[in-house]
Amino acid sequence: MPPNTLLDALLDEAGVSHAGLAAHVNQAGRARGLALRYEHTAVARWLKGQRPRGQVPDLICEVLGARLRRPVTLDDIGLGVPGELPVPHGSPLSGFVERATALWRSDEQQRPHVVGAPAVTGTPAVMPVWEWENPPEDTDVSRAGQTRVCASDVTMLKAARAHYELMYRRAGGIATRARIVGFLNAEAAPLLRGGYSDALGRQLHRATGGLVAVAGICAYDSDAHGLAQRYFHQGLRLAKASGDRGLGAYVIALLVNQSLFLGEYRQAVAFAEAALRTAGSRITPALATDLYAMQAKAYAHLGDSPAARDRIRRAEAEAERIRPGHEPDETGYVQPGLVNVQIAEALLSLGDLTAAREHATAAVRTPAHDRGRVHRLAILSQIELRRGEADRAARSAAEMADRARGMESHRLRDRLRSVRDHLLESRCGSAEQAAELIDGALRVPI
């Protein structure tokens, strides 16, 4: 049975020890005519997943509700009716907040059942997107918490998102993840549980959604795909609470990218369509560019050349409309050259090596941050190898290896290994030297 992370998180928030909870439950039981003699060992068993008997779950709600000065339900403490599936997106926003912050705490504690969870597929993967698209909307997100939230808190969360995104680009998701998760627990969680008006609450949920999305990116980059998916699903729920359809579409773009990596190509197409359809005019040119380009890659993998080329044309058209300074912070990753490398990948899958090389070369010639440049050089090297240009591929790979040094990222290491293996297959002298450089970059521990 899985640990009860919800109860664990509420105990931490309430500042109640195991022995303290046991004593308070015994005392609350006496008021109901019950002779209970629980000790800290019983609470430890509850936290490991054992369900307490009789009226005890209700007593726990009573004790914690009094301590936290707000209603606490059985679902909030992870002791809802057995057999009922949790519905985090369909539940009230307050219940979602408790589940979200419990996940952050479990991630920070490196709980294996959270960090090592596999990505879900089928209906569980689709439902959060469907619920983001469809009513009901949150009519009032205000909350009467003890800590008063102010506009400066929202500004602080926005600045943190920008800081951690930049750290991710420079150092990789593995190095960044622990830091951003620690920040979510220390700073964002108390604010979400605090007191705020509807208007300020929507700003707060939007800012937190942006942070949670970056945490998901870091988990994805750390090869924790189930955890990343849960963060992305949280980001969607926070986007819905904020009322910002554009933020939701950005989070779906992250789910599309993950679906491509996991080989869920039809899901990638469907998710992108959902974002484009639901966000409508809130889709900025940069985000539309990325969504169409990823759809092109998905269709190319599915062998649908006409659909892939149609999405390539749409991506190129949207890219022409991008106006620097008129995009939200989250779409800053759609830098010049990104659409070129995305299209190059799609064309490579379609076997159009000449056009793929043109786009990949244009992408490499365009300035980009180190992480983006590593990705672009890897694609160019792969295309050059497919074209029989081993020496050129080796030069591209050598620069790629140099740029990748010091980055802690499972995704980049996977890409480095793939390029190295293809280089060694070419049996070219310069390719072997480039492969050695890649091996040197791979020897850096993560």
pLDDT tens digits along 234-282? 999 999 999 999 999 999 999 999 999 999 999 999 999 999 999 998 9
Residue 89 has pLDDT above 50, yes or no: no
Contact between 350 and 308 under an 8 Å Cβ cutoff? The reply is: yes
Contact between 146 and 195 under an 8 Å Cβ cutoff? The reply is: yes
E-strand stretches of 51-176? 143-144
Assign 148 to helix, strand or coil. Answer: strand
**Residue where one domain finishes, among candidates 44, 72, 100:** 72
Query: pLDDT (tens digit, 9 = 90+) per residue, 386-420?
Result: 999 988 999 999 999 998 888 889 988 898 899 99
pLDDT given for residue 72 in this prediction: 85
Is 134 found in the same domain as 62?
no
Determine, yes or no, domain membership for 110: yes
Q: What is the mean pLDDT of the chain?
A: 91
- Band the pLDDT of 430: cuts 50, 70, 90: confident
pLDDT given for residue 71 in this prediction: 81
Q: How many CB atoms lie within 10 A of CB 15?
A: 9
Contact between 397 and 438 under an 8 Å Cβ cutoff? The reply is: yes
Determine, yes or no, domain membership for 385: yes
Contact between 399 and 369 under an 8 Å Cβ cutoff? The reply is: no
Across 339-362, average pLDDT? 96
Residue 397 belongs to what domain range?
369-446
Determine, yes or no, domain membership for 63: yes
Is 58 found in the same domain as 100?
no
Determine, yes or no, domain membership for 295: no
Determine, yes or no, domain membership for 77: no
- Cis peptide leading into 367, omega within 30 of 0? no
Is 134 found in the same domain as 236?
yes
Is 51 found in the same domain as 136?
no
Residue 83 has pLDDT above 80, yes or no: no
Is 208 found in the same domain as 119?
yes
Is 146 found in the same domain as 179?
yes
Report how far apart, in Å, the C-alpha atoms of 1 and of each of 46, 51, 113, 398, 407 are: 11, 10, 10, 49, 37
Is 96 found in the same domain as 56?
no
Read off the CATH number of the domain in which 68 is found: 1.10.260
The structure tokens listed for 24 are 């308070």
Determine, yes or no, domain membership for 107: yes
Determine, yes or no, domain membership for 354: no
Say if residue 327 is exposed, middle or buried (CB neighbours under 10 Å; 0-12, 13-18, 19+).
middle
**Residue where one domain finishes, among candidates 218, 243, 268:** 243
Is 98 found in the same domain as 56?
no
Is 98 found in the same domain as 37?
no
Report how far apart, in Å, the C-alpha atoms of 311 and of each of 228, 263, 299, 319, 358 are: 27, 19, 9, 12, 18
Residue 22 has pLDDT above 80, yes or no: yes
Is 134 found in the same domain as 47?
no
Is 165 found in the same domain as 44?
no
CA distance 1 to 408: 33
pLDDT given for residue 185 in this prediction: 96
**Residue where one domain finishes, among candidates 243, 269, 293:** 243
What total number of domains does the chain contain? Answer: 3
Is 121 found in the same domain as 66?
no
Determine, yes or no, domain membership for 81: no
